[in-house]
Amino acid sequence: MKKFIVFTALLISISFAAQAQEAVRFGFQLSPTFGWMSTDDNTINTNGTNVGLKLGLVGEFYFQENYAVTTGLGFYFNAGGTLAHEREGEYWRNSEISQECQDFFMQNGPNLKYSVQYVEIPVGLKLRTREFGYIRYFFEPNMGLGFRTQAKGDVRNAGDECNDLNIRSDVGLLNVFWGINGGIEYSVSESTSLVGGLGAQFGFVDATKDDDIVFIDGSSSNTVQEDSKGVLRAIVLRLGVMF
């Protein structure tokens, strides 16, 4: 969180330090994503990806012709992924899970899929080249803050009755992330450009709540608190238009 605050303050300072703002551009993005989750616990493994979507508004505030502070407001649909647990236990304990679905937590290797929706506010620094014909190339590091709005969970291979469970109480409210984007802008008119590129997004705070109980050696009399750090990752296919 401290890194996010420092980075944001730095970009705001850059924009205000400019003597005159060259231009302001707005647009929107419709960007498919391929997300997954990973943890720092070697008994919990990545076991599936989510195909998601980023949809929202984008703003670029230029303090020089080819340098801009970027921000926006958007939705990130179906973030998350599937985690395979090698140990039995009591998972998603803050949510209302039927006994039938809880029984699958007692089987070897329960696979738990997270499907999370966030409202995101990114802040970045965009660097682009001069125009070659109708094309400019750009590079954009950023950081951002996501606010969880809803979260669904599936107990994989447990039947339809264990899909689309409300696990909002077992997913953290905030997701802090950093990312890198790169690609091209193609000018279709003097003021309108199509944007295409590729990016990566990396969460660095725990997206899950550590209220679960893990059984050691399959015994309910020998348990520990589950305290892994589960983070979100994603590859983003950047698509949009700027005006």
Q: Which residue has the higher pLDDT, 8 or 154?
A: 154
pLDDT at position 77: 98
Report the alpha-carbon distance of residue 89 to residue 103 in Å, rounded.
Answer: 10
The dihedral sign for the CA sequence 126, 9, 24, 177: positive
- Whether pLDDT at 54 is above 90: yes
Across 180-189, average pLDDT: 97
Output the CA–CA distances (angstroms, integers) from residue 57 to 7, 44, 140, 156, in the order listed: 21, 36, 16, 34
In three-state form (DSSP H/G/I as H, E/B as E, the rest C), the secondary structure along 154-182 is EECCCCHHHCCEECHHHECCEEEEEEEEE
Model-level pTM?
A: 0.89
Burial (0-12, 13-18, 19+ Cβ within 10 Å), 51 = exposed
For residues 175 and 145, the answer to whether their CB atoms sit within 8 Å is yes
pLDDT band at 153 (very low <50, low <70, confident <90, very high): very high
Tell me the domain boundaries of the chain.
Answer: 2-242
Right CATH for 2-242 from 1.10.10.10, 2.40.160.20, 3.30.420.40, 3.10.20.600: 2.40.160.20
Residue 17 pLDDT class (50, 70, 90 cuts): very low
